[in-house]
Amino acid sequence: MTRQIEWGDECIAVLVETPTGNYIAPPIVFDTDGDLVMGQELLAAVVASDTTIQHPVLHNCGPVALAVLEWKLAFVAEQLGVPLGPASQ
């Protein structure tokens, strides 16, 4: 099961709930040059599984916005008591 994690009016991540534990899946993030800066592992897993998902994607994320996003994700992870990403379990 998955649940969107919202900050204000924006979906910033997904809470993934599994029988072996819960974790936060960060968004797919592109920087101001259009380069992928977060979410490479998620995209690779989706391609390998030959499936589709609904997941937040953020565009035009500069260094300050990326730092703020990382702070928000860390804050939410701490509040929920779950790791960021399945590899952290």
**Which residue is associated with the tokens 């099961």?**
1
Residue type, 77: A
Q: What is the band of 86 on the pLDDT scale with cuts at 50, 70, 90?
A: confident
**What is the number of structural domains in the chain?**
1
What ranges make up the beta strands (E) of the chain?
Answer: 2-7, 10-18, 21-25, 28-31, 36-38, 57-61
Q: Is the dihedral of CA 21, 2, 60, 37 positive or negative?
A: positive
Q: What is the band of 87 on the pLDDT scale with cuts at 50, 70, 90?
A: low
Domain extent, residue 8, equals 2-85
| Mean pLDDT within 66-84 | 96
Q: What is the pLDDT of residues 46-57, one digit of tens each?
A: 899 988 889 999
Environment class of residue 68 by beta-carbon count within 10 Å: exposed (0-12), middle (13-18) or buried (19+)?
A: middle
